Amino acid sequence: MPAARESTDVVVVGSGPNGLAAAVTMARAGLDVVVLEAEPTVGGGARTLDLGLADGLRHDICSAVHPLATASPFLAAFDLPARGVELVVPELSYAHPLDGGRAGLAWRDLDETVDGLGRDGPMWRRVFGPLVRDTDAVVAATLADMRSLPPQLRTSQGLRGAVAFGLRVLLEGTPLWNLPFRGDVAPAMLTGVAGHAIAALPALAPAGVALMLGTLAHSVGWRIPKGGSQAIADALVADLHDHGGEVRTGTHVRSWRELPRARTYLLDTSPGVAAEIWGDRLPPRMERRLRRAPAGGGAAKVDFVLSGPVPWAVPDVGRAFTVHVGGTRREIAAAEEDVARGRLPERPSVLLSDPSVADPARERDGLRPLWTYAHVPFGCEVDMTEAITRQIERFAPGFRDVVVRSSSVPAARMGEHNPNLVGGDIAGGAVTLRRVLGGPTGRWDPYALGIPGVYLCSSSAPPAPGVHGMNGWHAARRALRHRFGLPAPSLAP
């Protein structure tokens, strides 16, 4: 006779920021919650680990910089600083080096940024000034569940902010994107931020990413947690434990038959993994949609150990702990087009984070970590160490001389440390307007998977990828309402 299956109220599969956001929400509502994580450590895309490259040196595994750590409605209510997470806010949000000893510098101070952009400064102010004044509206519009009107947009001021944002997305996300600017620095800066989406440019969804993150750069700032991204995951886990929840690591779920019995299941997984777990119980049409959900471009990770700071040709670039390395708008767009067409760019777009700039304690015995990834085609098997090194050396002559060692994870191997990153798809699917609005299911309720009580809560669901917890929070609130008849709980410490 088979053993009786364990029972609980809620099972969350995956302990990334969205899974933990969902788990915290359910536990705070008074429900019994069990989180199952395949890896030996929690955090998913917000983990910080010792890779064995240098004694005691810790590297962020996926995410490193967190513009939404205090701007996200979920994390704002959760209040990370009140829970002991120290968030460093730089004066220089991000930098974008260019050939010829030039660089675009996005200071948190909008006026200082405008002053540095010369003849394009006034246009930069016209683009971002109204958005910075209505940052809450911009965040609400981009991180909503796309099915309801957030409170921030129910005022005339909030509505004006949302309209201003939408009009700028329509310009920046179409072939008209070059019209506002006369030089090449400001367009390169916007394109570097849009490149976070890893998508062909111009397009509406990446434009939304660029304008939202660009707005945060001049308002709350692009923040970094002291000690690494793991601090965010650890704070969520601590709160979950305080409210009776449980996390089980090293538990790889392959089928719903392996899960405890529960009234609700929340999946912080890719659509494909969700289909594997629930395949024979999913409606056939839903299973097909999940299995065929378009993948995004890939990211190939390279972690460096340096003996000193990156020797940027423009010294001020070294004051930023986020640097977009890709050259001009034309070069970045060409590289992203190559990726979208399955070709490996000769000069890939590179995202770089130097955490010791903001958090000197990350250094150990004169050595410092450097976080980078390059955009490559989905599933690319190429070691990108040399290509990334060349791109950095292009704007920082002598970079090779400060590299002590490195560790490469090609896009094809990214799924080895996080099953959600199969093929290097760190965005949870293609970043398109259709995906942002409807997720992979195409249903009015983009979180429900057609089985009562089963919800997708990962970055593949609306609104967008990123460490903000909103996908998990939206899914959890639906589950609370529909499965338990409970209101959303307070998240305050």
**Pair 175, 280 in one domain:** no
Residue 29 lies in a domain: yes
What pTM was estimated for this model as a whole? 0.96
**Domain count within the chain:** 2
Residues 336 and 378 in one domain: yes
234 and 219 in a common domain: no
Specify whether 217 is located in the same domain as 240.
no
Q: Judge if 405 and 320 occupy the same domain.
A: yes
Same domain for 181 and 101, yes or no, is yes
- 399 and 459, same domain (yes or no): no
- pLDDT at position 5 over 80: no
User: CA-to-CA distance for 459 and 68, rounded, in angstroms?
Assistant: 14
Query: Which residue, of 416, 441, 462, is where some domain finishes?
Result: 416
DSSP 227-246: T-THHHHHHHHHHHHHTT-E
**Where is 13: in which H helix or E strand?**
strand 10-13
User: Are 86 and 139 part of one and the same domain?
Assistant: yes
pLDDT in tens, 154-174: 999 999 999 999 999 999 999
Structure confidence by residue, pLDDT tens digits, 325-339: 999 999 999 999 999
Asked if the structure places residue 252 within a domain, the reply is yes
DSSP letter, residue 312: -
- 240 pLDDT above the threshold of 90: yes
Alpha-carbon distance of 144 to 73, in angstroms, equals 9
132 and 200 belong to one structural domain: yes
In whole angstroms, what is the distance from residue 226 CA to residue 440 CA?
35
Q: Do 263 and 361 share a domain, yes or no?
A: no
* Tokens of residue 459, six digits: 């970055």
End-of-domain residue from the set 360, 391, 416: 416
% of the chain beyond a pLDDT of 70: 99
At 36, which CATH number? 3.50.50.60
Closest CA to 269 of 468, 416, 472: 472
Q: Judge whether 4 lies within some domain.
A: no
Q: Are residues 24 and 155 in the same domain?
A: no
Together in a domain, 90 and 175: yes
| Structural domain ending residue among the three candidates 369, 385, 416 | 416
Domain that holds residue 380: 73-224+297-416
The average confidence (pLDDT) of the chain is 96
pLDDT tens track for 27-64: 999 999 999 999 999 999 999 999 999 999 999 999 99
Rounded CA-CA distance 23/282 in Å is 23
Residues β-bridged to residue 59: 49
**What is the distance between the alpha carbons of residues 33 and 268, in angstroms, rounded to a whole number?**
14
Question: CA 227, 38, 71 angle in degrees (round to 5)?
Answer: 45
